[in-house]
């Protein structure tokens, strides 16, 4: 269905719908969009190649995170997913929201805004040495942060960790706004890393965050496709090798926009060069990654790659692909365990010696669950009531 207002195709690239005036409260705007979404609703097509086993015994979660991606566009679908995320946080308190890229559709932040070109990376090429100057870019609040503001714990915003997606550094066509594409992409990456708000934290172009029993490793997966903006895949590979050593003792999850494998429209990304870079990243981590938490595909997917690594794709928060039928996988030997066109998000829970993952649709219903003991595979199980 089309979002409220002009469709992405009808809107000039690099622009966003005009924010409501100061007298239009956020709650009212989101409610109106949610009501519009209800008139069409989320598509519910799903494939379940592996029947779920019995529900496992519950465990005490020491860490719980929502995994959502591709949410960076104001519209009816985004409002429905926002509502469901907020309800999930009220029912089961979240420690973190992990947003897997495409944070600002269509073209990322505005690299042509006055003062944007002052943004500069530090010598490490990941953290920001000097943020941009000039007026604040309204895209951050309007496209994404407003939708995450209702996700709270004890009255405070749940922290949101983000990685870069391909639209965040877009420098193709009119997204380049007449500048040098390499410089535009680098400036956009810098502006997103420099942004700090209650609903936006990107510690670096790549980053590592420890929470309880979990290590989260965020990468700039745009480099799986090609080097850009002066950034190289070799730098990403070296970073993963450096931060993955503790993964021998604790569960590690790789957060990326692009998945290592998929059964969706972007399966054509999996060129030999792309797959070789995936292989090198997993080798750099010493084969210790429990799962990839990704987006990019605008649906919900659970796969197991030929390396035995779980792949969870949660990219159906603002733009869906209801026509997808998951007819093939991108990488031979990949096992598709579940896929759905339903709008929604994932929830990762980790406890002492066990972890689980479930997909939740925009109506708040658990539609796929898996459970793992230690470093064993996350096998499909019946979702607990």
How many Cα atoms within 13 Å fall on the side-chain side of residue 205?
33
Task: Give me 329's structure tokens.
Answer: 């996988």
- Is residue 65 pLDDT above 80, yes or no? yes
Q: What is the pLDDT of residues 212-230, one digit of tens each?
A: 999 999 999 999 999 999 9
Residues 6+ apart with CB under 8 A from 88: 66, 94, 345, 347, 360, 364
Query: What's residue 179's pLDDT?
Result: 87
Q: Is residue 159 part of a domain?
A: yes
In the structure, what pLDDT confidence band is assigned to residue 13 with cuts at 50, 70 and 90?
Answer: very low
* Three-class DSSP category at 356: strand
Query: What's residue 177's pLDDT?
Result: 86
Query: What's residue 147's pLDDT?
Result: 98
Structural domain for 222, as ranges = 45-381
Average pLDDT over residues 244-257: 96
Write the CATH number for 177: 3.60.21.10
Query: What's residue 5's pLDDT?
Result: 30
Count: domains in the chain: 1
* Residue whose C-alpha is closest to residue 326's, from 276, 266, 278: 266
Query: What's residue 31's pLDDT?
Result: 53
Query: What's residue 26's pLDDT?
Result: 53
- Edge-first strand listing for the sheet containing 214-218: 46-47, 335-340, 300-304, 310-314, 289-294, 251-255, 214-218, 207-211
Average pLDDT over residues 364-377: 96
**Distance between CA atoms of residues 156 and 335, nearest Å:** 39
Query: What's residue 9's pLDDT?
Result: 35
- Scanning the structure block, which residue is given the tokens 């609903």? 199
Mean pLDDT (the chain, rounded) = 91
Q: Is residue 6 part of a domain?
A: no
Lowest mean pLDDT of 28-42, 137-151, 193-207, 290-304, name the range.
28-42
* Three-class DSSP category at 236: helix
- Is residue 24 pLDDT above 60, yes or no? no
Q: What is the pLDDT of residues 264-275, one digit of tens each?
A: 999 999 999 999
Q: Which is more confidently placed, 33 or 274?
A: 274
Q: Is residue 8 part of a domain?
A: no
Query: What's residue 385's pLDDT?
Result: 83
- Is residue 340 pLDDT above 90, yes or no? yes
* Residue whose C-alpha is closest to residue 223's, from 302, 288, 295, 169: 169
Q: Is residue 294 part of a domain?
A: yes
3-state SS of the chain: helix, strand, coil percent to 5? 25, 25, 50
- Is residue 369 pLDDT above 80, yes or no? yes
Q: What is the pLDDT of residues 134-145, one digit of tens each?
A: 999 999 999 999
Q: Is residue 27 part of a domain?
A: no
Q: Is residue 13 part of a domain?
A: no
The pTM is what?
A: 0.91
Query: What's residue 39's pLDDT?
Result: 47
In the structure, what pLDDT confidence band is assigned to residue 263 with cuts at 50, 70 and 90?
Answer: very high
Q: Is residue 2 part of a domain?
A: no
Q: Is residue 3 part of a domain?
A: no
Q: How far is CA 17 from the centre of its chain?
A: 22
């Amino acid at each position: 269905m089309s979002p409220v207002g002009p469709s992405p195709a009808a809107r000039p690239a690099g622009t966003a719908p005009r924010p409501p005036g100061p007298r239009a409260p956020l709650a009212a705007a989101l409610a109106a969009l949610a009501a519009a979404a209800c008139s069409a609703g989320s598509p519910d097509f799903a494939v379940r190649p592996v029947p779920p086993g019995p529900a496992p015994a519950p465990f005490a979660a020491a860490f719980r995170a929502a995994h959502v991606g591709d949410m960076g566009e104001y519209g009816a679908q985004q409002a429905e997913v926002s509502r469901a995320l907020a309800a999930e946080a009220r029912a089961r308190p979240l420690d973190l929201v992990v947003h897997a890229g495409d944070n600002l559709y269509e073209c990322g932040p505005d690299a042509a805004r006055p003062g944007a070109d002052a943004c500069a990376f530090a010598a490490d090429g990941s953290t920001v040495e000097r943020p941009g100057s000039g007026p604040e870019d309204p895209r951050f609040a309007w496209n994404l942060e407003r939708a995450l503001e209702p996700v709270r714990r004890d009255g405070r915003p749940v922290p949101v960790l983000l990685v870069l997606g391909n639209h965040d550094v877009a420098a193709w066509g009119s997204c380049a706004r007449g500048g040098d594409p390499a410089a535009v992409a680098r400036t956009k990456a810098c502006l997103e890393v420099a942004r700090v708000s209650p609903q936006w934290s990107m510690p670096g172009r790549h980053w590592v965050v420890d929470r309880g029993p979990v290590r989260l490793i965020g990468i700039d997966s745009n480099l799986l496709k090609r080097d850009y903006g002066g950034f190289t895949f070799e730098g990403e590979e070296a970073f993963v090798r450096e931060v993955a050593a503790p993964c021998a003792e604790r569960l590690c999850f790789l957060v990326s926009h692009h998945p290592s494998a998929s059964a969706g429209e972007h399966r054509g990304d999996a060129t030999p060069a792309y797959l070789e870079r995936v292989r090198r990243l997993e080798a750099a981590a010493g084969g210790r990654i429990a799962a990839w938490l990704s987006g990019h595909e605008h649906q919900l997917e659970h796969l197991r790659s030929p390396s035995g690594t779980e792949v969870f794709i949660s990219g159906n928060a603002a733009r869906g692909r209801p026509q997808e039928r998951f007819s093939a996988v991108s990488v031979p030997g990949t096992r598709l365990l579940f896929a759905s066109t339903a709008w929604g998000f994932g929830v990762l829970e980790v406890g002492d010696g066990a972890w689980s993952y479930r997909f939740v649709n925009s109506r708040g219903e658990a539609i796929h669950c898996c459970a793992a003991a230690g470093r064993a595979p996350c096998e499909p199980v019946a979702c607990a009531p």
